[in-house]
Structure formats: C-alpha cells, structure tokens
Amino acid sequence: MAKPPSLDAWRAAHLVERLGRLLRAADFEGGLNPAQREALRYLARANRFSRTPAALAAYFGSSRGTVSQTLIALEAKGLIEKTKSAKDARSVILSLTGAGRRAHDLDGEILLARDIETAGEAGSIAAALEGALARALARRGGRAFGVCKSCRHHERNAGARRCALLDEPLTAQDAQAICAEMEAA
C-alpha cells in the first residue's frame, strides 16, 4: 500500500481544487461556459501550429465532437474564426477575433495569475504544479503539451528559431506559446 501524502501535499491539492472551483464559477460570466472559456484560454496561448480543432481536443482530453460543439458556440458568439489551412485544405486554423481577445483579457485566470504573483514564488509554484500535472497526465495517459521553447525540436541558431519536427521557422511569439507537438527536451 502506498504511503499517504503529507499534510502539506493534501493542503496544496485542496487549495488547487478550491482555486479551480472559483475559476470555474467565474467562467460562466459573460455568457460563456467553462469549456468555452478554456477554449479561449488555449487559443490565446497556442502557437500557430496548435490552433486546430484536433489539437484543442487533445489538450482537453476530449472527443473532437465535443470540441466541435464548443467551437460552434464560440464562432456563433463572434469570439473565434476559422480559416482554411494554407498547407492542408482539409484542416482549419482557429483564431480569436477582437471580441475573443477582449473576452480573454477579462478572464478570471488572468486575475488569479496576478494573485499568485502578488503572493510571491510564482516560479517555484508553477514548477511544482507542472510536475504534478505531468505525473497526473501520465497516470491517465494524457499528453502534457508545453511551451515551444522547451521542446526538443526547438532549435535556435544565431538568433533564428526553427521547429525541426515541422521544418518551419518560428517567431519569438511561437517560442513562448503552447505547442501540440511539444516533446520535453
């Protein structure tokens, strides 16, 4: 039988859950639901290679059908737009509209991030939570996703950035964004 977690670990898990519940309650503001709000969050942070319905479904750990309903609702509300991929006409690229960016800017997750920053130690808190998330995803068979610049395929030569997997140049913005193809370095 596994050793029970420490009191501090239980307390941390409880605090994460309470913060999550507060965020989910705020997700209903502005006529959205939690899935729609999370889709906006993802699209605001994803790089240009990762703003697809399939990547969003993988990020959610959900079916494409479920994600499709979320995207239909967001598009009807004027918060996202779909454009055909220049590389694959069967694929669409998702992006936030101006209204979608404004909705994201008012998001409770941004306010929570400010609260965490005010508390101090944001970097160590984030690192601890990233480790816990990676283990929880591994236990459930999920994908971690991650920031492009921390990927083994991210190359930087003389200031130029490139994705070796996709054989594509990267912008500084791409390097800071979530990537569906990310593999830890």
Tens of pLDDT, residues 3-41: 898 999 999 999 999 999 998 888 888 899 999 999 999
* Domain span holding position 93: 9-144
Burial 105-125 (b: 16+ CB within 10 A, else e): eebbbeeeeeeeeeeeeeeee
Q: What is the pLDDT of residue 86?
A: 84
Indicate whether 116 and 55 sit together in one domain: yes
Same domain, 84 and 152: no
pLDDT at 133: 86
Nearest to 149 by CA among 183, 184, 181, 176: 176
Asked if residue 151 and residue 139 are part of one domain, the reply reads: no
The pLDDT value recorded for residue 142 is 78
What predicted TM-score, i.e. pTM, was given to this entire model? Answer: 0.77
pLDDT confidence of residue 11: 93
pLDDT at 91: 87
pLDDT at 37: 94
Do 153 and 109 have their domain in common?
no
Q: Check if the beta carbon of residue 44 is closer than 8 Å to that of residue 104.
A: yes
Looking at residue 185, what is its pLDDT?
76
Same domain, 108 and 68: yes
Give how many domains the chain has, as a whole number.
Answer: 2
**Do 30 and 55 share a domain, yes or no?**
yes
Low-confidence spans in the chain with pLDDT less than 50: none
* pLDDT recorded at residue 2: 84
pLDDT value at position 24?
87
What was the pLDDT predicted at 92? 93
Going 122 to 126 to 127 to 128, the CA torsion angle's sign is positive
Q: Are 59 and 66 in contact (CB under 8 A)?
A: no
Evaluate whether residue 3 is within a structural domain.
Answer: no
Q: Do residues 14 and 44 share a domain?
A: yes
